[in-house]
Amino acid sequence: MGRLQDQVALITGAAGGIGRATALRFAAEGAKLVLTDIDDTEGAQTLQQVQAVGAEVIYVHADVSRGEDCQAMVAAAETAFDGLHILFNNAGIMHPEDGDAMSTEEHIWDLTMAINLRGVYLGCKYGIPLMLKSGGGSIINTASFVALMGAATPQLAYTASKGGVLAMTRELAVIHARQNLRCNALCPGPLHTKMLMDFLDTEQKKQRRLVHIPMGRFGLATEMADAALYLASSESSYVNGTEFVVDGGITAAYVTPAD
C-alpha cells in the first residue's frame, strides 16, 4: 500500500518543475491524480509519464487565474474520481520583467498576482467544498523562501505574491482546523528548475543567488516533491498552518530571530 493509496490529488502547474516531479511521486504512492496547466504540450508529457507508472490520472487545461477554470478542474476531479483529498496549489510564474518597484510595470504586477495569489485563492474557493465533502484532507500551497526574506535579485511582484500565499495559508489553516482539513505552505529555496534558471539568465545572477545558500547548490524539484508528499500524507497529520521551508539552509543563515 502506498502512502497516498486511493487518495485523490489535484496538482496545478503540473507541466514541469515541482508539479511534474510531485505528480510522479504521488503516483508512485498510489494517488489518483488530476493534473492541470496551461501548457498542454508539456502537460501531456507529464500525463504520459504518470500513466507509465500505472496511476489513474486525467489532465485538465486550467488557467488558475480564471474562476471558471478552477471550478471546472475541481468538477473534473469529482466526475472522474468522486472526491478530492489533496489540493496542491502549485502553479506560479516568475516574470523576467519583474524587478524593483520603479522598474516593474503594473501589468507585470497584476499578472503575477493573478496567477500566484489569486490562483491559490480560487483553487481553495472551489476545491475546499469538495474536500470537506470527501472527509477532509491536505491543502499544500507553494510559497517560497522569499516570503520570509528579501530576494537578492529584485523580483518584487513575485516576493509580494508569495508573502500573500503564506498569510492566506495561515488563515485557511485556522479556519478549517476542526474540519479535518489541514493547510500548509511549502517554501522552496532556489531550485534548478526552468522557471528560476530562465529568471537567473546570466552566470552572474546565478552566482549572486548561490552565494547565499549554505549548501552551495540549487535544490531539485524532486526534493520538493518529497516534501509535498510528507505534507499530503497522514504522517503530517498534526502539521497545520506551517511555513514548511526546504531551502538548503538559506533562511537559517540570513533570518535573525526576534529578541
The secondary structure of the chain as a DSSP string is --TTTT-EEEESSTTSHHHHHHHHHHHHTT-EEEEEES-HHHHHHHHHHHHHHT--EEEEE--TTSHHHHHHHHHHHHHHHS---EEEE------TT--STTTS-HHHHHHHHIIIIIHHHHHHHHHHHHHHHTT-EEEEEE--GGGTS--SS--HHHHHHHHHHHHHHHHHHHHTGGGTEEEEEEEE-SB-SHHHHHHS-SHHHHHHHHTT-TT-S-B-HHHHHHHHHHHHSGGGTT--S-EEEESTTHHHHHPPPP-
In a domain, 117, yes or no: yes
pLDDT of res. 202: 77
In a domain, 130, yes or no: yes
Locus of grid cell 478542474: 73
Catalytic sites, residue numbers: 158
Q: Find the CATH number of the domain harbouring 219.
A: 3.40.50.720
In a domain, 55, yes or no: yes
In a domain, 249, yes or no: no
Read off the pTM. 0.94
In a domain, 259, yes or no: no
Count CB neighbours of 35 within 10 A. 27
Find, among 54, 71, 67, the residue nearest to 10 by Cα: 71
In a domain, 186, yes or no: yes
* All cell numbers assigned to 11: 496538482
Residue 16 and residue 43 in contact, taking contact as beta carbons nearer than 8 Å: no
In a domain, 3, yes or no: no
Residue 209 and residue 191 in contact, taking contact as beta carbons nearer than 8 Å: no
Residue 219 and residue 193 in contact, taking contact as beta carbons nearer than 8 Å: no
pLDDT of res. 203: 74
Q: What angle do CA 99, 101, 104 make, to 5 degrees?
A: 50
Domain span at residue 99 reads 8-236
Q: In what order do the strands lie in the sheet with 8-11?
A: 57-61, 32-37, 8-11, 86-89, 137-142, 181-188, 243-246
Number of domains in the chain: 1
In a domain, 250, yes or no: no
* All cell numbers assigned to 160: 509580494
Q: Could you say which residues of the chain have pLDDT below 50?
A: 259
Task: Provide the residue count of the chain.
Answer: 259
* All cell numbers assigned to 131: 474536500
pLDDT of res. 258: 52
What is d(CA 131, CA 135) in angstroms, rounded to the nearest whole number?
Answer: 6
